[in-house]
Structure 1
Amino acid sequence: MSTESVQGGGNDPAIEVTPEAAEEALSLLEGEELDTDEAGLRLFVQQGGCAGLSYGMRFDTEPEPDDLVVEHHGLRVFVDPASRNYIGGSKLDYESGLQAAGFHVENPNVVSECGCGESFRT
């Protein structure tokens, strides 16, 4: 069952979260003993990498007043105003496999990525 609510977003395109990503993030949040009703995953963009920008993620106990707050499958995702311009409309997924496992952002705003896939340019 997919639930979505958006707060503070205005006309910004929301962030989508797959069930796999929500399940993994919620498990990690609970492992950190954070209240999943208030805490969430902060998704942001920072300067860095060979293409200029890179994604960052961390857990926060609550959103900042001007954050976009999106909830999918019980996971709250917080996005600051500066990052919204770069990642609005993106999808957060979790992939696991023999070679690697981790969160992956599918971003429709990206015009190029570096060879290793760790940074991007819009």
Structure 2
Amino acid sequence: MSTGTADGEMSPRIEVTETAADEALSLLEGEGLDTDEAGLRLFVQQGGCAGLSYGMRFDDEPEPDDTIYEHHDLRVFVDPSSLNYVEGSVLDFEGGLQGAGFHVENPNVVSECGCGESFRT
């Protein structure tokens, strides 16, 4: 397991905005999870019209081969195969008339489907 921090322990490959961290921490606490151990898992899976899509869920603890990023007290777990697709990304939370949700700003994306739910690198 490797760890990246905003403090420079290792160059962060995943950034998290303060807004996204606050929202995720609030949801984690609402689920009764210990925010010192639990975290948000960011992963990439096959699917969507462009071929790949993002997935997120809360996990009680990281897997042994995960890379762990900590930003604004939020722990983010990324498995090795997903890291290849999301390296350099920023996780944000957006609210608005179209609905609120987490959004991944990924510099590796070369195209997205029309609805924005899937991507290709």
TM-score calculated relative to the size of structure 2: 0.91
- In structure 2, the partner of 1:48 is 47
The C-alpha deviation readout for 1:57-79, integer Å capped at 9, x for no partner, is 00000001110100000000000
* Matches of 1:55 and 1:6, distance apart in 2: 26
Gapped runs of 5+ residues in structure 2?
none
In structure 2, how many angstroms separate the alpha carbons of the residues matched to 1:121 and 1:67? 23
**Compared with structure 1, are the counterparts of its residues 66 and 93 closer, same or farther at alpha carbon in structure 2 (3 Å cutoff)?**
same
Distance 1:79 1:20 in 2: 20
Instruction: Find the aligned partners of 2:67 and 2:19 in 1 and give their Cα distance.
Output: 21
Q: CA deviation at 1:4?
A: 2.1
Identity %: 79
**Given the two structures, how large is their TM-score scaled by the length of structure 1?**
0.91
Match of 1:78 in 2: 77
Corresponding position of 2:23: 24
CA-based RMSD of the aligned residues comes to 1.7
Unaligned segments of structure 1, at least 5 residues: none
Distance in 1 (alpha carbons) for counterparts of 2:119 and 2:87:
15
SS at match of 1:51: coil
